[in-house]
Structure 1
């Protein structure tokens, strides 16, 4: 089996490549750090599966999926991301990917997932299966839809690179209040750290910044 790994972090690419090549079923593993290189490698090497990060620096794994599908490339794609599946799993599957795993997944689970998407199966983690089986009632807000207008405004400013102190000045509120909003946003989005929040906010603004619902 031939696999293409797409991640903007060289160390992460190297680690994934070594893990995948340790599996007897995987004969080769090429790597790309951006969408353009990934498109070129996918066309030249015809991998049996592509493993891609959702966030690719200034680009997005969703962009890569869309461009591959637009040109008729049907290579199975597994998204491997730090973002909670509750936020993105359904979105990447709708975009044309065959699976979504969080980076906390075990090596065995990753290799199994790559094999399964190559066989034409759809892959989500056990945790996501549990969420689907215990889904919230129809119409219940989740993810960004669960944020209050004030929290949405804070999320947009985080995406623009504003610090808590700067946001506090812009909104005429205390830094403590803004920090409370940040914690509430992280909880609702299933994020753990400030860096995860910053990366999510930037990606969200890129994808939805012009959406009137979030203006």
Structure 2
């Protein structure tokens, strides 16, 4: 359930945080830890993907602390849509998955940080602050193993900047589908499709429909 924890009266700028984890005890621990630091303000908690989307769309938090599994559903593929719903939100994945492949996919999908639940309390605070301020944070033990895949991560070239969902939207746009048709096929809102479309245009420098079709052909998305 989306638990609204917005507070008022603080004149100091703070990093608003949504905690998304399906274990109440884990959320309670994170809440207690972050609440002790005046840099953070916990605005909501969630235990499922629908609740997380609702919390993000309502609060547009600075940071979303996200577990990779919520109520037996993988949240990995939802990262692009969460970012589309709140483009300014930074996602810090907090998980037990120590396989670097998960970290690589989370970063490619648009997450800004990846931290294991075994991390020390101070590391969580530091990671949340770093991510909230716009920097990338990766668990040090995973950093070395991810270094060799740097060229494939977001922000390392124009082609690599497209997320999996943006590639899907680009393909459907190039095939002539309307925003409404794409929304139905992708099971997202028309507004989310419009956000993806705007991001695709910006990343590819595509101003016209012909530019989008050309970009899709270059990526093998059209016959």
Specify the TM-score bucket, using the shorter chain as the normaliser.
Answer: 0.5 to 0.7
Aligned residues of 2:56 and 2:85 also touching (Cα < 8 A): no
Deviation at 1:23, TM superposition (A): 1.3
- The alpha carbon displacement at 1:64 in A equals 3.1
TM-score of the two chains, using structure 1 as the length reference: 0.58
| Contact residue 21 and residue 29 of structure 1 kept, 8 A | no
1:200-215 mapped onto 2 (5 Å cutoff): none
1:29-178 correspondence to structure 2 within 5 Å: 29-71=43-85, 73-132=87-146
| TM-score, normalising length: structure 2 | 0.56
Identify the range of structure 1 (41-50 vs 65-74) with the bigger mean alpha-carbon deviation.
Answer: 65-74
| Deviating more after overlay: 44-53 vs 20-29 | 20-29
Shift in Å, 1:121: 0.8
- Where is the helix percentage greater, Structure 1 or Structure 2? 1
Partner residue of 1:204? none
SS in 2 for 1:44: helix
The whole-number CA distance in structure 2 between the counterparts of 1:6 and 1:72 is 15
- Partners of 1:28 and 1:130 lie apart in 2 by 32
Retained in 2: the 8 A contact 1:69–1:96? yes
Unpaired runs of 5+ in structure 1?
137-215
Q: CA deviation at 1:72?
A: 5.5
Corresponding residue pairs, total: 135
Aligned equivalents of 2:26 and 2:34: distance in 1?
12
Superposition deviation, residue 24 in structure 1: 1.8
Distance 1:71 1:22 in 2: 29
Distance 1:41 1:23 in 2: 22
Structure 1 residue 85: Cα displacement: 4.1
8 Å Cα contact 1:3-1:47 kept in structure 2: yes
Are 1:18 and 2:32 counterparts? yes
Cα offset for 1:59? 1.3
Structure 2, unmatched stretches of 5+, are 1-14, 150-223
Q: Secondary structure at 1:121's aligned position in 2?
A: coil
Cα contact 1:17–1:29 (8 A) shared by 2: no
SS in 2 for 1:80: strand
Mapped to 2, the partners of 1:15 and 1:41 lie a distance apart of 19
